[in-house]
């Protein structure tokens, strides 16, 4: 068997890159073939390709907003996401397309008709199906190079530590507020950052909690009344998820977070944004 580097160079195709120069690329079929031949996950193959200045074709339009060095860091990262519903489904879609190597996701819920207005993973055909099983299929469909580890359960204070073990960052995509402080504490105990977000109607917040710092969960309480009364319109869900995903990408690629020890409060009806220090 040829070495991984040899296989990558042999399979590379030189093209005109979007930025105007010429460069070597690696198509998705080549990634899959090399990964299978070498017994490696696809994201490992893609990261090694980038180290040889070979750009996996699926990430061509990430460059240079996400540099090759940043893309390698993302492919070599592992995240733990709690919740695969409204925020969680949209986040998963973005993480799969961006190329975060290992995604661990947990949710014990099934899809129901009221999810169809905003949950990216829900369709009429998968009503009553477990969200984790749908997320697993979607991950394989969008980006089979990545590793998705799904857990079909509602996490508790006792099970959160194991779920976060070995990951680089935690994501709070929970519905409601009851478990958010427990997740924040578990992330601190694991020594990893937590990116959190929530919404009610057209308002919401996004925050980043570094280990040991205060976070939104310290001040928001556990009353879900606002979310239940005001609902969750799709544009607000997508906007909050986009801000959360941006924070995740920045942190994993080694950039400073502008929301560490802070929360950004958003009102999309009035287009107001206020950053609050915690």
pLDDT tens figures, 126-155:
999 999 999 999 999 999 999 999 999 999
Same domain, 43 and 133: no
**Structure-model confidence comparison of residues 42 and 278, the more confident one:** 42
Same domain, 29 and 165: no
Boundaries of domain holding 15 = 4-62
Concatenated DSSP letters for the chain? ---HHHHHHHH-EEEE-TTSSEEEEE-HHHHHHHHHHHT--HHHHHHHHHHTTEEEGGGTTTTTTS-HHHHHHHHT-EEEEE--SHHHHHHHHHHHHHT-SEEEEE---B--GGGTTT-TT--GGGTTSBHHHHHHHHHHHH-TTSEEEEE-S---TTTHHHHHTT-SEEEE--SSSTTHHHHHHHHHHHT--EEEEEEETTEEEEEEE-TTS--THHHH-S--HHHHHH---HHHHHHHHHHHHHHHHHHHTTPPPTTBTEEEEEETTTTEEEEEE-
Asked if residue 84 and residue 14 are part of one domain, the reply reads: no
pLDDT (average), residues 175-191: 93
Query: pLDDT band at residue 13, thresholds of 50, 70 and 90?
Result: very high
Residues 127 and 91 in one domain: yes
Look at residue 224 and tell me whether its pLDDT is greater than 70: no
202 and 236 in a single domain? The answer is yes
Give mean pLDDT, residues 230-253: 95
Query: Is there a domain that residue 70 lies in?
Result: no
* Percentage, residues of the chain above pLDDT 90: 88
Give me the number of domains the chain comprises: 2
pLDDT at 18: 85
98 and 23 in a common domain: no
Q: Of residues 66 and 261, which shows the higher confidence score? A: 66
Give this prediction's pTM: 0.95
Average per-residue pLDDT for the chain? 94
**pLDDT band per the 50, 70, 90 thresholds, residue 177:** confident
- Domain match, 227 and 272 both: yes
Answer whether residue 68 is part of any domain.
no
The mean per-residue pLDDT over the stretch 34-61 comes to 97
**Does a structural domain hold residue 125?**
yes
In a domain, 153, yes or no: yes
Does residue 255 share a domain with residue 169? yes
User: Is residue 214 one of the residues assigned to a domain?
Assistant: yes
CB 225 within 8 A of CB 200: no
Looking at the structure, do residues 151 and 236 belong to the same domain, yes or no?
Answer: yes
């Amino acid at each position: 068997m040829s070495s991984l580097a040899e296989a990558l160079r042999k399979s590379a195709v030189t093209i005109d890159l979007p930025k105007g120069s010429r460069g070597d690329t690696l198509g998705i079929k080549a990634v899959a073939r090399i990964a299978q031949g070498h017994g490696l996950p696809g994201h490992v193959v893609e990261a090694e390709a980038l180290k040889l200045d070979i750009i996996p074709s699926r990430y061509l339009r990430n460059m240079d907003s996400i540099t090759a060095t940043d893309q390698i860091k993302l492919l070599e990262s592992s995240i733990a996401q709690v919740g695969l519903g409204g925020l969680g489904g949209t986040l998963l879609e973005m993480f799969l397309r961006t190329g975060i190597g290992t995604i661990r996701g947990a949710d014990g819920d099934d899809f129901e008709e009221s999810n169809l207005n905003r949950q990216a993973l829900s369709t009429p055909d998968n009503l009553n199906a477990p969200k984790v099983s749908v997320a697993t299929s979607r991950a394989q469909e969008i980006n089979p190079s990545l590793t998705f580890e799904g857990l079909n359960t509602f996490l508790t204070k006792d099970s959160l530590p194991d779920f976060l073990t070995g990951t680089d960052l935690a994501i709070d995509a929970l519905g409601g507020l009851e478990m958010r402080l427990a997740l924040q504490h578990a992330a601190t105990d694991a020594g990893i950052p937590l990116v959190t977000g929530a919404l009610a109607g057209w308002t919401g917040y996004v925050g980043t909690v570094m280990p040991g710092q205060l976070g939104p969960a310290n001040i928001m309480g556990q009353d879900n009344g606002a979310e239940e009364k005001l609902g969750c319109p799709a544009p607000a869900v997508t906007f909050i998820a986009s801000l959360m995903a941006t924070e995740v990408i920045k942190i994993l690629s080694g950039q400073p977070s502008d929301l560490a020890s802070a929360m950004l409060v958003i009102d999309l009806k009035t287009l107001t944004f206020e950053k609050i220090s915690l």
